[in-house]
């Protein structure tokens, strides 16, 4: 099972940490290192017209968020988090967040938190078009402008007809203050959550792997267009008109024959003089171009971190083994990215929710959000491992373990929740022996059937 480590600390601790950092003898300045490459508009166009790019982006969305999530921690807060996530459509919001990170936002996604008028709840979430969003920057250096606590001064939305700034003490829309902080708890910057999965050290903004493979994708698309256009034109009919006696037929004769051939089909019957010869346009030489197209497709998949075998079938046993290894590596990368996304959701959404509701004062009190795995390989390995450990008396059955397994598989947990409450109330209880009557002996056939059930 995965153990997700989370950074913890209260607001006071975070402010104190920033103060220590500010007062420390550090000579290096805080500079924005990110330089813009392919813009979100170009990446979005690539996503729309290229099938491999489309599938790779949606693979990330499916594997990161598609299987859903659950919460771990204080049972009451977990229940609140589940109800809130359903009310605001958190799963759909996170799917759009991943989409913006990879495509439209070129590594970045911004979500506005819709607080209630009294500031004591978050009632809605809205994903903002990232091409209009940025941090407030110094007008001279163009670096992200920092406040005294070493946090960014705020965020700015700038479109052709609207400008909005979210600052600590106020929110300003088109030059008019529409919100002011009333207490020390209020912070206008908390109404914007910035998400990123990939970034360069020292940069406040994220990057996307799609930008790194943009050039390879364009080259491959141009090759595909060239081959496809040549193959399509190779079916055209060419009419050779003329004879040794009339080497240069009139324009009217040629146009007449062309018009006759425009609607040609297998059932068409034409009669032409002996000096008209019909042939098909020769097929282009595709030797080597197919491998070149596959090469650029493979380079793109390597850059995106997704096995090419998910889009192109392997042709040999050796390739199949390499495919299985690549799939496992991909699943491990997805697990790591899920941890990053979970940490960001916990800090930028769940903490602000429960802090607004006066339910917590420290990040460590906030439930963890855990994303389920969509990988059948990972699930099979987990089932096999637990089965083997149980048969060797290295794992005993207890409600916490069973609940964790059930939540990961998306199975009901109501009965286990009740059993877990009794379990925690009785401090003297220990896990039952793995071979006690209350346990179920799991043999190889049962494990295999369960695996097939999960794979579907």
- What's the pLDDT score for residue 365? 95
Task: Tell me phi and psi for residue 40, to 5 degrees.
Answer: -60, -30
- What separation in angstroms does the CA of 71 have from each of 3, 83, 114, 338, 345? 13, 11, 22, 14, 12
Concatenating the DSSP letter of every residue in 169-218 gives: SEEEETTEEEEE--STT--GGGGEEEE-S-B-TT-SSB--HHHHTHHHHH
Mean pLDDT, residues 108-114 taken together: 95
The answer to whether position 205 is within a domain reads: yes
Element (H, E) at 377: helix 376-391
Closest CA to 311 of 30, 59, 46: 59
The predicted pLDDT at position 374 comes to: 67
**Residue 419, domain member (yes or no):** yes
Cα angle value 362/168/338 (rounded, 5°): 50
Q: Give the closest residue to 60 by CA, choosing from 428, 248, 307, 367.
A: 307
- Cross-strand partners of 194: 110
List, for residues 218-229, the tens digit of each pLDDT value. Answer: 999 988 887 776
Say yes or no: 346 and 384 in one domain.
Answer: no
Q: Which residue has the higher pLDDT, 429 or 313?
A: 429
Q: Are residues 132 and 194 in the same domain?
A: yes
Domain assignment of residue 407, given as a range: 375-455
The dihedral sign for the CA sequence 355, 358, 363, 368: negative
Residue 405 falls within a domain, yes or no? yes
Whether residue 246 is predicted with pLDDT greater than 50 in this model: the reply is yes
Is the pLDDT confidence value at 450 over 90? Answer: no
Residues 208, 218, single domain; the answer is no
Q: Are residues 268 and 228 in the same domain?
A: yes
- Tens digit of pLDDT for each residue in 119-151? 999 999 999 999 999 999 999 888 899 998 888
- 165 and 270 fall within a common domain: no
In a domain, 169, yes or no: yes
Per-residue pLDDT, averaged over 388-414, amounts to: 70
Report pLDDT for 320.
44
- Residue 350 and residue 431 in one domain: no
- Whether 264 and 391 map to the same domain: the answer is no
Q: Is 73 left (phi over 0), alpha (psi -120 to 50) or beta?
A: left
What letter would DSSP give residue 359? S
Contacts (Cβ under 8 Å, ≥6 apart) of 229: none
Residue 150 gets the label, from left (phi > 0), alpha (psi -120 to 50) or beta, of left
Bridge partners of residue 102, in order along the sequence:
none
- pLDDT tens profile 328-373: 678 888 889 999 999 999 999 999 999 999 999 999 999 999 998 8
For residues 40-55, average pLDDT: 91
Are 118 and 263 contained in the same domain?
no
For a pLDDT cut of 90, what percent of the chain falls above it?
Answer: 40
Q: What is the CA radius of gyration of the chain?
A: 31
Please check whether residues 143 and 226 belong to one and the same domain: no
Residues 264 and 340 in one domain: no
Least confident of 39-53, 270-284, 415-429: 270-284
Lowest mean pLDDT among 176-190, 254-268, 305-319: 305-319
Same domain, 71 and 162: yes
Q: Tell me which range, 287-296, 325-334, 396-405, is most confidently predicted by mean pLDDT.
A: 287-296
173 and 30 fall within a common domain: yes
Q: What is the pLDDT of residue 388?
A: 72
Please state the domain count of the chain.
3
**DSSP E strands, 209-318:** 237-241, 276-280
Residue 321 lies in a domain: no
Mean pLDDT of the chain: 78
């Amino acid at each position: 099972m995965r153990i997700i480590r989370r950074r913890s600390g209260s607001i006071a601790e975070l402010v104190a940490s920033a103060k220590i950092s500010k007062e420390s003898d550090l000579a290096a300045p805080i500079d924005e290192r990110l330089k813009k490459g392919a813009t979100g508009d170009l990446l979005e166009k690539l996503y729309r017209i290229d099938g491999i790019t489309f599938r790779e982006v949606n693979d990330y969305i499916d594997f990161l968020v598609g299987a859903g999530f659950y919460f771990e921690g204080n049972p009451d807060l977990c229940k609140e988090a589940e109800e809130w996530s359903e009310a605001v459509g958190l799963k759909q919001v996170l799917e759009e967040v991943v989409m913006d990170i990879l495509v439209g936002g070129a590594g970045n996604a911004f979500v506005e938190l819709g607080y209630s008028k009294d500031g004591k709840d978050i009632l809605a979430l809205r994903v903002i078009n990232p091409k209009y969003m940025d941090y407030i920057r110094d007008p001279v250096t163009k670096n992200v402008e920092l406040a005294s606590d070493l946090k960014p001064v705020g965020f700015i939305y700038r479109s052709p007809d609207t400008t909005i700034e979210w600052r600590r003490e106020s929110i300003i829309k088109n030059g008019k203050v529409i919100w002011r902080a009333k207490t020390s708890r209020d912070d206008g910057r908390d109404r914007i959550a910035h998400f990123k999965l990939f970034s360069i050290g020292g940069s406040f903004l994220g990057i996307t792997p799609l930008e790194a493979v943009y050039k390879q994708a364009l080259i491959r698309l141009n090759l595909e267009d060239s081959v496809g256009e040549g193959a399509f034109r190779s079916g055209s009919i060419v009419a050779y008109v003329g004879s040794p006696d009339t080497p240069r037929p009139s324009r009217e004769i040629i146009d007449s024959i062309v018009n006759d051939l425009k609607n040609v089909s297998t059932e068409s019957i034409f009669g032409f003089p002996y000096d008209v010869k019909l042939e098909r346009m020769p097929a282009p030489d595709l030797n080597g171009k197919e491998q070149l197209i596959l090469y650029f497709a493979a380079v793109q998949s390597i850059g995106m971190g997704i096995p090419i075998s998910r889009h192109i079938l392997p042709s040999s046993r050796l390739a199949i083994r390499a495919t299985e290894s690549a799939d496992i590596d991909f699943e491990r990368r997805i697990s790591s990215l899920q941890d990053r996304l979970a940490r960001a959701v916990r800090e930028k959404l769940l903490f602000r929710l429960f802090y607004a509701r006066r339910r917590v004062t420290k990040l460590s009190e906030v439930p963890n959000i855990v994303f389920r795995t969509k990988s059948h390989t990972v699930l099979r390995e987990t089932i096999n491992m637990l089965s083997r450990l149980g048969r060797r008396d290295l794992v005993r059955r207890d409600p916490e373990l069973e609940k964790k397994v059930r939540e990961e598989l998306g199975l009901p947990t109501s009965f286990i929740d009740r059993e877990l409450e009794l379990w925690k109330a009785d401090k003297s209880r220990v896990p039952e022996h793995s071979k006690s009557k209350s346990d179920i002996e799991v043999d190889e056939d049962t494990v295999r059937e369960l695996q097939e059930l999960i794979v579907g």
